[in-house]
Amino acid sequence: MLLSKSCVYGLRAALYLANQEKGKFIPIRQMSDKLEISFHFLTKILQQLTAEGILESFKGPNGGVRLVRNGSEVPLMDVVVAIDGSKLLTECALGLPGCGVKAPCPIHDKWAETRDSIREMLEQSTLTELVNKSRKENLRLTSEDGFDILFND
């Protein structure tokens, strides 16, 4: 798999947050319910995002987490790197050691191109961009609910 499950959950949660009123703290429980992700597991993942400075949290009643920056300034890449690290964008596809510009593996050049297009995709897509698109086309973040239903009370 390209991205770990933790990473995918983190991205879905980040998209959820980007669709919320700016500055408002959203309880993790609400997100885990809506997104159908285990509460404790999601908590751990979001703790990573908080530690990495992508989210900030607030304890107690009316607490929760929120994006530090505006969603339009958060490329998917930031979330991916915070959770999965950057090996996806640095490692040799064939796992051949010593692969690089100096001593490329047989598919180094081709893979470098592919890797760049992954990088581009993750760097150019922001949370807000995807949220807008999702709203417009009623895309899903879960198996059941359309995007609009997801944000009803």
Q: What is the 3-state secondary structure (H, E, C) of the chain?
A: CCCCHHHHHHHHHHHHHHCCCCCCCECHHHHHHHHCCCHHHHHHHHHHHHHCCCEEEECCCCCEEEECCCHHHCEHHHHHHHHHCCHHHCCCCCCCCCCCCCCCCCCHHHHHHHHHHHHHHHHHCEHHHHHHHHHHHCCECCCCCEHHHHCCC
Q: Does 76 bind a copy of itself (CB under 8 A)?
A: yes
Q: Does 67 bind DNA (CB under 7 A)?
A: no
Structure tokens at 26: 């959203």
Give 28 or 79: the residue with its C-beta nearer to DNA.
Answer: 28
Q: Does 63 bind a copy of itself (CB under 8 A)?
A: no
87 touches, from a copy of itself, DNA, none (C-beta below 5 to 8 Å by class): a copy of itself
43 touches, from a copy of itself, DNA, none (C-beta below 5 to 8 Å by class): DNA
Handedness of CA 62, 144, 152, 22 (dihedral sign): positive
What is the x/- site pattern for a copy of itself, positions 99-138, by CB under 8 A? ----xxxxx--xx-xx--xx--x---x---xxx-xx--x-
CB of 142 to a copy of itself, least distance (A): 7
Count interface residues toward DNA (CB under 7 A): 26
Q: Give dist(CA 150, CA 144) in Å, integer.
A: 9
From candidates 35, 47, 75, 140, binder to DNA by CB under 7 A: 47
123 touches, from a copy of itself, DNA, none (C-beta below 5 to 8 Å by class): none
Q: Does 60 bind a copy of itself (CB under 8 A)?
A: no
27 touches, from DNA, a copy of itself, none (C-beta below 5 to 8 Å by class): DNA
